[in-house]
Amino acid sequence: MTLVQFFRNTGAIAIAALAAACGTTYDLPGVDDRVDARATAMFAEARAAAPRSPADPAVAQARFRRVASRLQPVAETLCKAELAQKGADCRVKLELDRQMAERNAYFTYAGPGNSDPVIRFTVTMLQDVESDDEVAFILGHEYGHLIGQHIVKQQQQAVAGALILGALTAYGNAQAASAGQGYDPHAVSRNMEIGAAVGTRAYSQTYELESDMLGTRIAAAAGYDPVKGAKFFARAEAARSQGGQLSFWGTHPADSRRLAVVLATVDQMKAGAPSGVE
């Protein structure tokens, strides 16, 4: 196989893998002008709200346990219905992250072989939350990252992105060599690394919106008000702490589009429209 054939074969496979890995699993609800206007007004109102004084840590943690016990079975049932055939583990551990000082909540895989799904909240995050609806929406949103298979997809994208850039560099080097120019043997591996970074960052905003849609459905099914809960995401906060670590707002940028997706999802649920989510 010549390098050109290698490039063609690898490139085609990588592009197909990238296309499969990038998309959302579910269709996002359409946002019309009316919903957009409501979201914009609601966003501005939430932004203008006065700063909160932190809740007592014991009260904050009791709220987390209360909401988690009600929401977890609902989210797990949805997860199993959606992912059972893919063999995904839906038994998410809900934990407090006592090490991180930042206000944060996140979904990750931990434990042996990074295989166990975990959602963690920092205590400062819970102290900053004002209602059970807010905890429910944030928790539902984090479950959305599992149900949307976002980490799995990002890893696939990273591999596909690395393959494309690696193949392009190999092709460029082959051209340079045949033209009698010098070529850089390190460029292939360097570009594979750059490709991995590019692939990992792509479509993150789309995934956030998909998680907002799923979080809306989970919070509502557990008996909470997702619209009240989602206003938490409109708050203006520093993306980075003084320590330089990313806070919740560094990975979840405030954006009125997010409230629009929540409002449109609620409208869709009220209308009983099919969503693709059972």
Residue 214 in contact with residue 147, Cβ under 8 Å?
yes
CA distances from 230 to 14, 136, 277 (A): 37, 9, 20
**Rounded to the nearest whole angstrom, what is the least distance from the CB of residue 248 to Zn ion in the complex?**
9
CA 85 to chain centre: 22
CB nearer to Zn ion: pick between 7 and 207: 207
The H or E element that residue 171 is part of is helix 150-178
Stretch that binds Zn ion, among 60-68, 156-164, 201-209, 219-227 (CB under 5 A): 201-209
CB nearer to Zn ion: pick between 109 and 183: 109
Single out the residue of 25, 81, 39, 22 nearest to residue 267, CA to CA.
39
CB nearer to Zn ion: pick between 128 and 208: 208
**Rounded to the nearest whole angstrom, what is the least distance from the CB of residue 217 to Zn ion in the complex?**
15
> What values do phi and psi take at 80, rounded to 5?
-65, -40
Angle at alpha carbon of residue 95, lines to 124 and 109, rounded to 5°: 115
**Rounded to the nearest whole angstrom, what is the least distance from the CB of residue 194 to Zn ion in the complex?**
25
Single out the residue of 199, 208, 218, 183 nearest to residue 259, CA to CA.
208
**Rounded to the nearest whole angstrom, what is the least distance from the CB of residue 148 to Zn ion in the complex?**
10
Residues near 25 by Cβ (< 8 Å), separated by ≥ 6? 82, 147, 148, 149, 210, 276
**Rounded to the nearest whole angstrom, what is the least distance from the CB of residue 40 to Zn ion in the complex?**
21
Single out the residue of 14, 24, 19 nearest to residue 161, CA to CA.
14
Residue count, binding to Zn ion (CB under 5 A) = 2
CB nearer to Zn ion: pick between 82 and 208: 208
Residue list 61-80, contact with Zn ion (CB under 5 A): none
Stretch that binds Zn ion, among 33-41, 115-123, 163-171, 211-219 (CB under 5 A): 211-219
Instruction: Specify burial of residue 135 (Cβ count, 10 A radius: 0-12, 13-18, 19+).
Output: buried
**Rounded to the nearest whole angstrom, what is the least distance from the CB of residue 81 to Zn ion in the complex?**
21
Stretch that binds Zn ion, among 8-16, 166-174, 183-191, 208-216 (CB under 5 A): 208-216
CB nearer to Zn ion: pick between 3 and 202: 202
CB nearer to Zn ion: pick between 148 and 161: 148
The H or E element that residue 80 is part of is helix 57-83
CB nearer to Zn ion: pick between 190 and 240: 240
What beta strand segments (E) does the chain contain? Answer: 93-97, 105-110, 116-122
**Rounded to the nearest whole angstrom, what is the least distance from the CB of residue 145 to Zn ion in the complex?**
6
Stretch that binds Zn ion, among 4-12, 18-26, 175-183, 209-217 (CB under 5 A): 209-217
Stretch that binds Zn ion, among 83-91, 205-213, 235-243, 262-270 (CB under 5 A): 205-213
Q: Which residues would be at the binding site for Zn ion (CB under 5 A)?
A: 208, 211
